[in-house]
Amino acid sequence: MLHALQEYEPETYIEFHKDVRFHPNLTFGERMFFAEIDSISKKNEKGVCPFSSRKLSELFGVSHQSILNWIRKLSELGLIEVGVDYNSQDCKQFLKTKKH
């Protein structure tokens, strides 16, 4: 079974809520990161984005630390949840956008 990020192909048009799109404390990169996480989650049968911060850094062309900073900031703002899927064989981490 392929990892969700390996089989993911970016959409040409991604919708995301105006509360995120126009959030005064988010950078453009953080907004786009949120939109991609939301898009990946919608395609996943569990409604989450299984993630590897290294793979996400490759996908976005930013440093591993930037991804970790974006995750922390979006989590602190209450826009995403970070969790661990203990039912998976290797306890994969996941991101999940919160509903607005």
Average pLDDT over residues 76-96: 84
CATH number of 27-97: 1.10.10.10
Verdict on whether the full-model pTM lies above 0.75: yes
Rg (the chain; Cα; Å)? 13
Where in the chain are the domains? 27-97
pLDDT (0 to 100) of residue 2: 42
Nearest 5°: phi and psi at 35? Answer: -60, -40
What are the pLDDT digits (tens) for 19-67?
Answer: 788 888 999 999 989 988 888 888 888 888 887 888 889 988 999 999 9
State percent of the chain over pLDDT 70. Answer: 80
**From CA 48, how far away is CA 51, in angstroms rounded?**
9
